[in-house]
Amino acid sequence: MQSSHSLYGKLKNIDGKDYGAYQSLKGEYAFPDFQLFITQIPKDSYAPPHTGIYRIRVSQKYLGIPAHLFDTETAGIAYRDFLARIFSAAAKRVAKRGRGTGHSGLITLDTPAQAILDRSAVVFTPDGAEIRFFIGLPAKGRKINARLANTMLFEELPVIVRQAFANLDLGTVRRHIEAAEDAECLRGKLEELDLVAFIADGSILPRKSGTSDEPMEEKDAVVFHSPESLRVSVDLPHVGAITGLGIPRGVTLVVGGGYQGKSTLLHGIETGIYNHVPGDGRELCAAESRAVKIRAYSGRSVASVDISGFIDNLPFKRDTTRFCTTNASGSTSQAASIVEALEMDARVLLMDEDTCASNFMIRDRKMQELVKEEDEPITPYIDRVRWLYEDKGVSSIVVLGGVGDYFDVADTVIQMIKYEPYDATDAAKRIALESPVKRRREHAASPKPVSGRFVYTETIDPFNEYGKKSVYASEINRIHFGTTTIDLTDVEQLLELSQTKAIAQAILYLGNLDLEPATMKELIDRCMQVIKEKGPGGLSERISGHLAQVRGIEIACALNRLRTLKIQQR
């Protein structure tokens, strides 16, 4: 390993040269507090950050956290997540943008959101930890600015390392790890408690704004308290006994007037598939790990999905057992998303009427009188929701504000009033008895089982119109893949860009597999096995610090939306 003085000399020799001369810096350098590895340098200052590979290694002695605190899988993930966060925060304080052309002056890794995730940004080494990040080596136009590069590498980077890792507070690290362990334990207890979700008393569910996942300040928020009839007590390893709202298996409605907190409660449930950082307000909110948010999204691509259980008898005898389209309607997109989720073994479906196709959710009696059943190809969700639970064991949590007919098919009804939950189950059942629904149940026959779909992996094509491999994500809801774009706007349980980048790498990995025809589920399971064994970084062909933990369900969602994908039914 070379000395840091050697790096200083190299920089001095390339000052003012073309940007490509930075390639001479590749190597390993010893600094007083850390080791720096420069593995790959972009050949242009405008190149995206993921094309650069920079790493530092710090010793366990320097970090000072006893190894027994993070010797389990959950604790190890939480500790690495913590290290990524404090490095990111220190880099934001010290390194500034806009110091030259392109990404000049930038020292960064993808900013973590509120969830504690396994990240490729930090990995353990035999003697400590390695942090993978990006340095925007500075340029003036296309010329190297060695003076600023020296400032970044010899002044700012050491300050970032010291601010982040010197004198780590043991109590803060311990709280981060314990928050993850308690949440993981809580999620693991849901099945034995016959629950699909749990929201702890004292939780803060409202967020700071519609564009921020950070919690609203407690002085401005309504603190969550469960109705007594739905209150459940749970013992956890660190916080001990807690109480909260237990949502049982079955069909649950979340009802109430506008602006009363219905969607806020649902959002707390849908993000309960993740562990949250201390101070988030949702640390003790957990949902079944296979809970999936479903919504309608016109225009999405659908590749050979059997939606006949929800939509059949289309005009001109169009086949819905192998339904394909590049421009789905609201109802067909929602039907396809449900079937795709069931294919991936979803156990809970989450829906909010605000983002659902109204004709997919219900047809009332008056509409049934005007439009006869034989002229309506859609079997509304209200007529399938009991079948999903009783025959498939798939629970539903549905937010409703204007459709009382669902009272007849509900097991539990939670009413939100000024952001506080009330058990309205008995009242809803009484109303259902006193005011029986006059609508007819439509298409009563049970749908066929969800069949496997074989994926033609050769249609997962990452090459653009110039014949170059082009796969990247620059937005949380969009992946550029080859000649097309995968739109993930309706995949609402993604929290941060690093997850989307991991999905892009997962699809690229699947496209490289040389397998006999395999089903969607088999392919995704293969991918998840790699993640389980190697972490999200195992998906990439090269070292990457920009990937974060993601579920197989979201990978399947993205693959299903790839417009070049070809699939054959079993």
**419 within domain boundaries:** yes
Q: Which two tokens stand for residue 564?
A: 């070049």
Residue-by-residue pLDDT tens, the chain, 570 positions: 899 999 999 999 999 999 999 999 999 999 999 999 999 998 888 887 777 889 999 999 999 999 999 999 999 999 999 999 999 999 999 988 778 888 888 999 988 999 999 999 999 999 999 999 999 999 988 899 999 999 999 999 999 999 999 989 999 999 999 999 999 999 999 999 999 999 999 999 999 988 889 999 989 999 999 999 999 999 999 999 999 999 999 999 999 999 999 999 999 999 999 999 999 999 999 999 999 999 999 999 999 999 999 999 888 778 899 999 999 999 999 999 999 999 999 999 999 999 999 999 999 999 989 999 888 999 999 999 999 999 999 999 999 999 999 999 999 999 999 999 999 999 999 999 998 877 888 876 677 777 789 999 999 999 999 999 999 998 999 999 999 999 999 999 999 999 999 999 999 999 988 777 889 999 999 999 999 999 999 988 889 899 999 999 999 999 999 999 999 887
The SS3 of residue 20 is helix
Residues 319 and 419 in one domain: yes
Do 539 and 413 share a structural domain?
A: no
Are 518 and 454 in contact by the 8 Å Cβ rule? The answer is: yes
> Per-residue DSSP letters for 33-57?
S-EEEEEE--SSTTS-GGG-EEEEE
Residues 19, 149: one domain? yes
Sheet containing 518-519: which strands, arranged edge to edge?
518-519, 453-455, 567-569
382 and 465, same domain (yes or no): no
| Amino acid in position 120 | S
Nearest by Cα to 105 from 82, 75, 139, 74: 139
Last residue of a domain, one of 134, 150, 168: 168
Answer whether residue 536 is part of any domain: yes
Same domain, 316 and 379: yes
The rounded distance, in Å, linking the Cα atoms of 110 and 88 is 8
Which of 168, 195, 221 delimits the end of a domain? 168
Q: Is residue 227 part of a domain?
A: no
Residue 207 lies in a domain: no
Start-to-end Cα distance in the chain: 55
Same domain? For 346 and 467 the reply is no
3-class DSSP state for residue 262? helix
Are residues 473 and 395 part of one domain? no
Q: Strands, DSSP E only, in 41-110?
A: 53-59, 107-108
The answer to whether position 237 is within a domain reads no
**Same domain, yes or no, for 150 and 7?**
yes
d(CA 113, CA 496): 6
Between the alpha carbon of residue 468 and those of residues 40, 43, 173, 482, 564, the distances in Å are 19, 17, 44, 8, 16
The whole domain housing 495 covers 453-569
Question: Please, are residues 68 and 177 in contact by the beta-carbon 8 Å criterion?
Answer: no
| 360 and 474 part of one domain | no
How many domains would you assign to the chain? 3
Q: Are residues 376 and 418 in the same domain?
A: yes
Tokens 């309706």 identify what position?
490
Amino acid at residue number 325: T
From 385, 323, 379, select the one nearest 349 (Cα to Cα): 385
Residues 462 and 404 placed together within one structural domain of the fold: no
Q: Is residue 479 part of a domain?
A: yes
Total Cβ atoms within 10 A of residue 309: 23
543 in the same domain as 411: no
This model's pTM is above 0.85? yes
Of 122, 144, 168, the residue that ends a domain is 168
Q: DSSP per residue over 297-334, as a string?
A: -TT--EEEE--TTTB---GGG--STTEEESS--HHHHH
- Is 473 within a domain? yes
**Residue 481 maps to a domain:** yes
